[in-house]
Structure 1
Amino acid sequence: MAKKKHIQKEDIISNFMEYVLLNNKKPDSVYSFSKQYNFNEEDYYKFYGNFSALEQSIFKVFYEKTINLLEKNNEYQNYSSRDKMLSFYYSFFELLTANRSYVVHALGSPTKNLKKIDTLKKLKKSFSNYIDKLDITLLETNQETLDKIQNKTLKESAWFQLLLTIKYWLEDTSPSFERTDIFIEKAVNTSFDLINIKPLKSVLDLGKFLYKDKSFMN
């Protein structure tokens, strides 16, 4: 009998993705999966409780690899929030493209509502933390409740935009998915233009000025 392999998390992910692509389905059980790839079943449970947890972890790993790649670029830390977001998108979708067959299988038909896919839960949490760290400037309200609403709205809208881009990429048939690159640039720039607080601040400043100007009010 062949000696069982000492397996790591990366091995489990690689083997699972290979199995799915070769068989067009998940393994029937952790037992059969471990037998096929010659490792102890108990070693699987050191990392994941079931296949669902593993599937969620794969998209989190895509995120982590993207961040690691970005942080290797010394100039990245000096980028504006907008440029950091663009860099994230381009790198993330380059990684998705390298694993497109698996991603298409995992997410299914592009007509599906991606918001309801459990597979993306860990990615959402990681991406929301990333949005927090971007330190995107929002309107100062000096009210804790309103600030929390603003931050939550920002993270939810950023997540929705990422899902929308994934859906676009799934449907994209252009060479090298060049249409997705164009979509990313336009979508990210538009979203940052929409949260640009300078015009709104100017309107508020004008309103305050006019309110204090008694001669105008009369």
Structure 2
Amino acid sequence: MEMLEKIRKAYTEYVLENGKQPTSVFQFAKKLKIAEADFYNHYTSFDAIEADIWLAFFTDAKTTVEADETYQGYSVREKLLAFYYTWIELLKAQRSFVVYSFGRLKDQSKGKGIRSLTPKVPILNPFKDEFFDYARDLLAEGRESKEVEPRPFVTDRYPDALWGQTLYLLDFWIRDVSKNFEKTDSAIEKSVNTAFDLIGRSPLDTLFDFAKFMYQNK
């Protein structure tokens, strides 16, 4: 773990000082005073380091909220809010790197929008995979608590919608110039509340149930 942190820290410092990735693993390892083989024992490329950093942002936020006893008593909506607030707080500590990396990833997506970042930009895929597992667990809990309404052909797309929301909030925070990123806090609250208003039970679901009842008992 110590070597992993050493490599990640050196990589982060390099890209922030130079505005680009190192040109050679050999030179990077030499400057770090480790053997090139030691680098490859942990990472296959510089992109692999960056992917690991993005994944760490997520896992650290998830571990932090789940360690809070009050979190366990939250509704699913409140749990997702707590995760996003914690995640953004952790990102603030490395904002310069996040701005650099996310900007680079957006450039690679060739202006096709933030939703195109994965899978065309695989650096975010480990983060995405873990987030999907987290989202599926939350949604399953939400179905049990009746906060999430299962709908044919739509329910399976809920994790994709939450992932899109995550990328939107990340992009919003990077562009946010408000004091203490207050607008990002509002964006988190409004986007999560809107999402759960949409995936929760609505008057249309009640109407559908009534129509189904009428059809079955005509």
CA distance in 2, matches of 1:199, 1:77: 29
How many residues were matched structurally? 203
C-alpha offsets along residues 98-123 of structure 1, whole Å, 9 cap, x if unaligned?
A: 11100111111778433333322211
In structure 1, the residue matched to 2:196 is 192
Which letter does structure 2 place at the counterpart of 1:125?
A: D
Which letter does structure 2 place at the counterpart of 1:124?
A: K
RMSD: 2.1
Q: Do residues 35 (structure 1) and 30 (structure 2) align?
A: yes
Q: Do residues 181 (structure 1) and 196 (structure 2) align?
A: no
Counterpart mapping for 1:1-218 below 5 A? 8-108=3-103, 112=111, 113-114=113-114, 115-116=116-117, 117-134=121-138, 135=140, 136-137=142-143, 138-140=148-150, 146=152, 149-197=153-201, 199-214=203-218
Structure 1 outlier segments of 4+, above 6 Å: none
Q: Once the 2 structures are TM-superposed, how far is the Cα of residue 202 of structure 1 from its aligned partner?
A: 1.7
Structure 1 unaligned residues grouped into runs of 5+: 1-5
Q: Residues 20 and 27 of structure 1 are in contact (CA less than 8 Å); yes or no, is this contact kept in structure 2?
A: yes
Q: Once the 2 structures are TM-superposed, how far is the Cα of residue 20 of structure 1 from its aligned partner?
A: 1.1
Change (3 A) 1:36 1:174: same
The residue matched to 2:42 in structure 1 has which SS?
coil
Query: What TM-score do the two structures reach when normalised by structure 1?
Result: 0.85
C-alpha offsets along residues 10-34 of structure 1, whole Å, 9 cap, x if unaligned?
A: 2211111111112221111111111
CA distance in 1, matches of 2:163, 2:97: 21
Structure 2 unaligned residues grouped into runs of 5+: none
Q: Residues 71 and 77 of structure 1 are in contact (CA less than 8 Å); yes or no, is this contact kept in structure 2?
A: yes
Q: Once the 2 structures are TM-superposed, how far is the Cα of residue 87 of structure 1 from its aligned partner?
A: 0.5
Q: Once the 2 structures are TM-superposed, how far is the Cα of residue 213 of structure 1 from its aligned partner?
A: 4.9
Which letter does structure 2 place at the counterpart of 1:58?
A: I
Query: What TM-score do the two structures reach when normalised by structure 2?
Result: 0.85
Q: Percent same amino acid at aligned positions?
A: 36
CA distance in 1, matches of 2:162, 2:125: 15
